Amino acid sequence: MRRVSILHRVEKALREAGVGPGQRLLAAVSGGVDSMVLLDAVACLRERLGVRLHVAHVHHGLRGRAADGDAALVVAEAARLGLGVSIVRLHPGGRGPGESVQVWARAARYRHLDAIAERVGASHIAVAHTQDDQAETVLLNLLRGTGPQGLAGITPPRRRILRPLLQVPRAEVEAYAASRQVAFRLDASNTSDAYRRNRVRHHLLPLLAKEYNPRIVESLASLAGLMREDDSALAEAADRFLGESARTMDGAVILEVAALAAAPPAVARRAVHAAFRQASQMAHSLTRRH
């Protein structure tokens, strides 16, 4: 049943995202259990969906021979499935001063996945975040201090990024791997409590499940979905506000104080954030401290 359930959910997620006949889908595969299950699932579905499949693996250059083993497994599995594969190796020494390894690795990974997708002509990139990843992200954002956008967690589509396993619990992914005898690699860094996400995964979430809510992962993922809907509606209202009230002059974005004061605070706040991004040409926005 679990295998059917995962295949059904993956197929539904891909179809809803517009993945269909004649398109090329890029599967981002790290070698861990989540991404290897995703690869197995999309390989099973490729004929039904009518898509061509290509595999991408980003070697972060951080774990020596262990990471080499990850890459080797991905290459071998792609060959077994008759799929093309692209391997990119990163160089951690190139990250900016003061930039954390995790932030650098994430940005570099998506940048290279986008480049591979362009090169092979892929319309979408499938990555393997699960429902547990969603719950962890919501908790991490909550602990850090956040608003609706942070509580929305990992967004399902981001440009051409798709997350077909985002509604699938990790336990179900692991059960699928066992039933299908999917080969995968274990990343030792995922067991280290040096990383806050790992502490949330190994200690906080199990505590919340045991003492407060056995379905805490599902509850947090549901909260993220509701907050995405609310945040999307507020973002649309802010866009309308900017279209009606903002004007530009010599690269500056001008907002009338009276119009801001009359708008609902949630809309005005988003409008100011959007105006800042437009005027500064920066991807990030203002924080509560600003």
- Tokens for 251? 């690269």
- Amino acid at site 253: V
Taking the C-alpha atoms of residue 29 and residue 89, their distance in angstroms, rounded to an integer, is: 14
Q: How confident is the model at residue 2 (pLDDT cuts 50, 70, 90)?
A: very low
Helix axes of 33-49 and 170-180: crossing angle, nearest 10 degrees: 70
**Across the chain, how many H-helices and E-strands are there?**
12, 7
pLDDT tens figures, 51-76: 999 999 998 877 788 889 999 999 99
Q: Is residue 108 within 8 Å of 12, Cβ to Cβ?
A: no
Q: Is the pTM of this model over 0.85?
A: yes
Q: What is the 3-state secondary structure (H, E, C) of 215-243?
A: CHHHHHHHHHHHHHHHHHHHHHHHHHHHH
- Amino acid at site 140: L
Q: What is the DSSP string of 258-273?
A: HHHHHS-HHHHHHHHH
Question: Which residues face 27 on adjacent strands?
Answer: 55, 126
Q: What is the mean pLDDT of residues 11-15?
A: 95
pLDDT tens figures, 209-253: 999 999 999 999 999 999 999 999 999 999 999 999 988 888 889
pLDDT at residue number 94: 67
More confident residue, 190 or 261: 261
Give phi and psi for 233, each to the nearest 5: -65, -40
pLDDT at residue number 19: 94
pLDDT tens figures, 89-146: 987 766 767 667 777 888 889 999 999 999 999 999 999 999 999 999 999 999 998 8
* Cβ contacts of 170 within 8 Å, gap of 6 or more: 34, 130, 131, 132, 133
pLDDT tens figures, 145-191: 888 889 999 976 667 999 999 999 999 999 999 999 999 999 888 88
